[in-house]
């Protein structure tokens, strides 16, 4: 097989994803025990960030350092990408110098074009359409707290955005039921919803959607690039805030997740994100461990 990319969860089979997350759990334990493991010694990850980031940048950079390699941060402001060098040319050049490229950008097609011209694996670190790396961390977190996510009921509240699209892919890949509760006009892409088949459906009423759920997930109401829509969106999304009432409808042992950054009092009440059912800090930490497993999968012979 040629070079493998990770642009969406569907680039890996269910079996590969399950093995990757089992490996992430193992790498986390070994790291906590202080074991040195440097499978990527002298290897280099190029990281292109056309949007802001805290977790993604730090987790990939820390992962490469802990694995004995190095990461290079590139932004359009101080690279030729910002001066109009075609993405195809950048891909051809970078992939002759580094071992893997991570890209966070706006149009998903740009990440696809980059991958099509790259001789090394390309990882999608968020586009307007998908955020697959976050799903690795989310499913690992569920696994660690509650066991297999297979057969469980997950409710997505809020915007039918990039995170929602990756949850739709995850429902199929990890075999769980996804209820999508978005205000009218903010549903996910109908083709991605349809692609999830019987694993997903829209449930318009947020209380009904949360009923009996094992996991409640939300995200910001205005994603990066939608800042000017913030006020109009806030009005539409008001009934979709994750409140203690929503959590009370879910199973008593339901978990709450949010990819972060969060806005307390908007998409989630402070009592929920700072409450006992919230696992958002473990979820953020697991970006590091699951991406280490991803880098190992893509870069080490297996
Ligand atoms: N969740 C996430 O991707 O966070 P950053 O935008 O801080 O990378
Ligand atoms: N939907 C959010 C996720 C941030 C990690 C955004 O795209 O801004």
> For the residues 201-229, what does the mean pLDDT come to?
98
Question: What's the confidence (pLDDT) of residue 40?
Answer: 98
Question: What's the confidence (pLDDT) of residue 67?
Answer: 98
Average model confidence (pLDDT) across the chain: 97
Is the minimum distance from the CB of 90 to ligand 1 under 6 angstroms?
Answer: no
Split at pLDDT 50, 70, 90, the class of 1 is low
How far is it, in rounded angstroms, from Cα 54 to Cα 61? Answer: 11
What is the residue whose two structure tokens read 């490469």? 64
At residue 290, the 3 state secondary structure works out as helix
Identify whether 291 is a catalytic site residue: no
* Token pair for 32: 């906590």
Split at pLDDT 50, 70, 90, the class of 279 is very high
Taking 90 as the threshold, does the pLDDT of residue 301 lie above it? no
Per-residue pLDDT of 161-188, as tens digits, reads: 999 999 999 999 999 999 999 999 999 9
> For the residues 73-85, what does the mean pLDDT come to?
95
How far is it, in rounded angstroms, from Cα 1 to Cα 207? Answer: 46
Residues of the chain with CATH 3.40.50.1370: 9-130+286-300, 134-283
> For the residues 132-137, what does the mean pLDDT come to?
99
For 134-283, CATH gives: 3.40.50.1370
Paired with 123 in beta bridges are 6, 102
Residue 38: how many CB atoms within 10 A of its CB? 12
Cα of 114 vs centre of ligand 1, distance in Å, is 21
Is the minimum distance from the CB of 56 to ligand 1 under 6 angstroms?
Answer: yes
Task: Identify the residues whose C-beta falls under 6 Å from ligand 2.
Answer: 126, 131, 161-163, 219-220, 223-224, 259
Is the minimum distance from the CB of 224 to ligand 1 under 6 angstroms?
Answer: no
Taking 70 as the threshold, does the pLDDT of residue 302 lie above it? no
Per-residue pLDDT of 89-100, as tens digits, reads: 999 999 999 999
How far is it, in rounded angstroms, from Cα 38 to Cα 66? Answer: 7
Residue 14: how many CB atoms within 10 A of its CB? 13
Question: What's the confidence (pLDDT) of residue 2?
Answer: 85
Among the listed residues 133, 9, 139, the one whose alpha carbon sits nearest the alpha carbon of residue 60:
133
Its pTM stands at 0.98
Per-residue pLDDT of 5-47, as tens digits, reads: 999 999 999 999 999 999 999 999 999 999 999 999 999 999 9
Split at pLDDT 50, 70, 90, the class of 70 is very high
Catalytic residue among 104, 169, 199, 289, which? 104
How far is it, in rounded angstroms, from Cα 200 to Cα 252? Answer: 22
CATH 3.40.50.1370 matches 9-130+286-300 = yes
């Amino acid at each position: 097989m040629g070079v493998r990319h990770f642009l969406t969860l569907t680039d890996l089979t269910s079996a590969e994803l399950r093995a990757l997350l089992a490996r992430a759990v193992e790498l986390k334990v070994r790291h906590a025990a202080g074991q040195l493991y440097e499978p990527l010694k002298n290897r280099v990850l190029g990281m292109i960030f056309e949007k802001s980031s805290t977790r993604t940048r730090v987790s990939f950079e820390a992962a490469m350092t802990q694995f004995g390699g190095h990461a290079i941060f590139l932004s359009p402001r101080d690279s030729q990408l910002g001066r109009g060098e075609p993405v195809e040319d950048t891909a051809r050049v970078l992939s002759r110098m580094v071992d893997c490229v991570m890209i966070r950008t706006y149009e998903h097609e740009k990440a696809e074009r980059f991958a099509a011209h790259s001789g090394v694996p390309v990882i999608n670190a968020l586009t307007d359409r998908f955020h697959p790396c976050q799903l690795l961390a989310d499913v690992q977190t569920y696994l660690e707290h509650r066991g297999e996510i297979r057969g469980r009921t997950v409710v997505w509240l809020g915007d039918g955005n990039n995170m929602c699209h990756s949850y739709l892919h995850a429902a199929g890949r990890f075999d769980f039921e996804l209820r999508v509760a978005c205000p009218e006009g903010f549903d996910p892409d109908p083709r991605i919803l349809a692609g999830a088949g019987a694993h997903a459906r829209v449930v318009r009423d947020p209380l009904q959607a949360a009923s009996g759920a094992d996991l409640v997930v939300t995200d910001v109401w205005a994603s990066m690039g939608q800042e000017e829509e913030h006020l109009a969106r806030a009005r539409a999304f008001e009934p979709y805030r994750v409140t203690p009432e929503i959590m009370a409808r879910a199973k008593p042992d339901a978990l709450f997740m949010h990819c972060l950054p969060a806005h307390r009092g908007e998409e989630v009440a402070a009592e929920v994100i700072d409450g006992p059912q919230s696992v958002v800090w473990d979820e953020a930490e697991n970006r590091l461990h699951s991406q280490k497993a991803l880098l190992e999968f893509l870069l080490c012979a297996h």
